[in-house]
Amino acid sequence: MNPSLILDRERVYDDAADGVILSEIAAGDQEAFRRLHRRYAGLLYAAIHRILGDPNDTEETLQEVLNSLWHKADQYHPGRGRPITWLTSTARNRAIDRIRARKRQARLRDAYSQSLDFVQRSTSPVAGPEAAIRRDTCEAVRSAVMELSGIQREAIEKVYFEGFTQQQIADQLGEPLGTVKARIRRGLAKLRQVIGED
């Protein structure tokens, strides 16, 4: 761990000053962002490291969090809680998203490996009724995916085939996280419905 980022447990948090810093960052003030970084990078690092446990992942996630804070400081509202709580929740959520993305990628790798093993174990090409069933299933899935709206298809592809977290997709698209989650949920529901009907 970088010694300059060690958590200062004796620090007294000034909610009013922190709220001002966040509003200045929302207005594009780079010096305010540097103050926030000096003040809280250690705390955010520690919060992320407790979840991830890996220094490299922690550093990468910290950079994602800081980038998100630069672009989304306007989303902090004093009536909903303390600035320090909002900052650490943002860091914690991003770390959890990274763990989920790792698990999704591992599942996809496992599924891919299993499918390769199955193909390699097969000694004869698939023919007859089994080939027709596979072809029909593939066609049904392709057709179902094509019936999704472009934004639903994009979100589902990014999550399930490219390994992005929902938060990363929201950041990439400049959309609220809830909107991205809803698109994925509706897209999957439509896929189930279309494939079920077929």
pLDDT in tens, 70-87: 999 999 988 888 999 999
Phi, psi dihedral angles at 175 (to 5 degrees):
-115, 155
41 in any annotated domain: yes
For residue 11, the 8-state DSSP code is P
Q: Is the pLDDT of residue 116 over 60?
A: no
Do 185 and 132 have their domain in common? yes
pLDDT recorded at residue 92: 93
- Look at residue 35 and give its three-state secondary structure: helix
- Rounded mean pLDDT, 22-49: 93
CATH number at residue 154: 1.10.10.10
141 in any annotated domain: yes
- Rounded mean pLDDT, 173-186: 84
Distance CA 114, CA 119 (A): 9
109 in any annotated domain: no
Domain termination site, one of 96, 115, 150: 96
Distance CA 18, CA 82 (A): 9
Tell me which residue of 34, 41, 31, 33 sits closest to 11, measured CA to CA.
Answer: 41
166 in any annotated domain: yes
pLDDT digits (tens, 9 = 90+) for 133-149: 777 777 777 777 777 77
Higher-scoring residue by pLDDT: 190, 36: 36
Do 20 and 79 have their domain in common? yes
CATH number at residue 17: 1.10.1740.10
Residue range(s) defining the domain that contains residue 170 = 125-197
Please state, in angstroms and as integers, the Cα–Cα distance from residue 28 to each residue in 25, 34, 86, 110, 161, following that order: 5, 12, 19, 44, 35
Do 52 and 133 have their domain in common? no
Distance CA 21, CA 80 (A): 17
149 in any annotated domain: yes
pLDDT recorded at residue 7: 43
